[in-house]
Structure 1
Amino acid sequence: MTNAAPALILFFLLLIVPTWLLAQTAIPPLSLAKSFKAESFSGTYWLSEKLDGMRCFWDGSQLLSRSGQIIHAPEYFTMGLPDEPLDGELWIGRGQYQALMRVVLDEEPNDAQWRQVSFQVFDLPLQQDEPFESRQSILQNLIKNLDIDHVQWVQQEKVTDLAAIESRLDALTEQGAEGVMLRPAGSSYLVGRSNMLLKYKRRQDAEAKVIAYQAGQGKYDGSVGAIWVEKPDGTLFKIGTGFSDEERDNPPPIGSTITYTYQGYTERGLPRFASFERIRQDDK
Structure 2
Amino acid sequence: MPLTSSLAPSNTATGANPPNSAAPLAGSLQLASSKPLPPESELPRYLVSEKLDGVRARWTGQTLVTRSGNLIAPPAWFIAALPADVLLDGELWAGRGRFEWLSGLVRSRGRDDDWYQVQLMVFDTPQSGLGFAERHKWLQARLSDKTEPLKLVEQRRFQHLSELNDYYQAVIRGGGEGLMLHREDALYIDGRNPLLIKLKPLNDTEGQVIGYRAGKGQFEGMMGALHLRLLDGREFFLGSGFSFDERRHPPAIGAWVTFQYHGLTDKGLPKGARFLRVRPME
User: Which TM-score bucket, shorter chain as reference?
Assistant: 0.5 to 0.7
The answer for the alignment partner of 1:267 in structure 2 is: none
Give the direction of change, closer, same or farther, for the CA distance of 1:46–1:245 in structure 2 (3 Å limit). Answer: closer
Report the AA paired with residue 132 of structure 1. Answer: F
Report deviation, 1:36: 3.5
Structure 1 residue runs of 5 or longer lacking an equivalent are 1-25, 249-257, 263-269, 274-284
Per the alignment, residue 176 of structure 1 pairs with 175
Are the counterparts in 2 of residues 62 and 70 from structure 1 also a CA contact under 8 Å?
Answer: yes
Q: Distance in 1 between matches of 2:194 and 2:74?
A: 32
How much does 1:128 deviate? 2.7
Deviation per CA, 1:177-200: give whole Å up to 9, x if none.
Answer: 110000012221121102121100
Partner SS state of residue 103, structure 1: helix
Task: Work out which of the residue numbers 207, 211, 216 in structure 1 matches 2:224.
Answer: 211
Please state whether the residue corresponding to 2:68 is helix, strand or coil: coil
User: 1:135/1:214 Cα in 2 relative to 1: closer, same or farther (>3 Å)?
Assistant: closer
Gapped runs of 5+ residues in structure 2? 1-24, 205-214, 217-222, 251-256
**Offset, 1:35:** 1.2
8 A contact 1:52–1:95 mirrored in 2:
yes
1 CA distance for matches of 2:82 and 2:178?
28
Amino acid at match of 1:185: E
Name the CA shift for 1:113/1:218 in 2 (closer, same or farther; >3 Å).
closer
Contact map agreement 1:65 1:71 (CA 8 A) in 2: yes
Distance in 1 (alpha carbons) for counterparts of 2:95 and 2:86: 26
What TM-score do you get using the length of structure 1 for normalisation?
A: 0.67
Residue of structure 2 equivalent to 1:84: 86
Alignment correspondent of 1:12:
none
Aligned pair count? 224
C-alpha distance in structure 2 between counterparts of 1:160 and 1:247, whole Å? 37
The answer for the alignment partner of 2:272 in structure 1 is 260
Q: How does 1:40-79 map to 2 (within 5 A)?
A: 43=42, 44-79=45-80
Deviations 1:26-85 (A, max 9, x none): 964111001131376661210000011111101111111111111111111111422221
2:186 is paired with a residue whose SS is: coil
Q: Deviations over 1:116-153 (max 9, x none)?
A: 0000001110x2311212111111122212x2311001
Matched, 1:142 2:152: no
Distance 1:260 1:272, change over 3 A: farther
- Indicate conservation of the 8 Å contact 2:264/2:271, yes or no: no
**Distance 1:47-1:246 versus aligned 2 partners, 3 A rule:** closer
Q: Counterparts of 1:58 and 1:33 in 2: how far apart (Å)?
A: 19
Q: How does 1:2-151 map to 2 (within 5 A)?
A: 28-38=27-37, 43=42, 44-82=45-83, 83-106=85-108, 108-125=109-126, 127-145=127-145, 147-151=146-150
Paired with 2:71 and 2:54, the residues of 1 have a C-alpha distance of 16
Structure 1: distance between partners of 2:59 and 2:266: 37
Normalising by structure 2, we get a TM-score of 0.68
CA offset digits 1:224-276 (Å, max 9, x no partner): 7442424486454767898889688xxxxxxxxx95246xxxxxxx5369xxx
Name the aligned partner's letter for residue 143 of structure 1.
Answer: L
2:32 touches 2:196 (CA, 8 Å); kept in 1?
Answer: yes
> What is the one-letter code of the residue matched to 2:272?
Y
Check the 8 A contact 1:72/1:109 in 2, yes or no.
no
C-alpha contact 1:36 1:198 (8 A) present in aligned 2 = yes
Q: 1:213 to 1:186 in 2, by over 3 A?
A: closer
Partner of 2:14: none
Q: Check conservation: 1:204, 1:261, Cα contact below 8 A.
A: no
Residue 161 of structure 2 is aligned to residue 162 of structure 1: yes
Note if contact 2:59-2:65 (Cα within 8 Å) is conserved in structure 1: yes
8 Å contact from structure 2 (residues 50, 171) kept in 1:
yes
What SS does the corresponding residue of 1:87 show, helix, strand or coil?
strand
* RMSD value, Cα: 3.5
Instruction: Among all aligned residue pairs of Structure 1 and Structure 2, give the percentage whose two residues are the same amino acid.
Output: 31
- Alpha carbons of structure 1 residues 246 and 157: separation in structure 2 relative to 1, 3 Å: closer
For residues 121 and 58 of structure 2, what CA distance do their matches in structure 1 show? 11
Offset, 1:161: 3.0
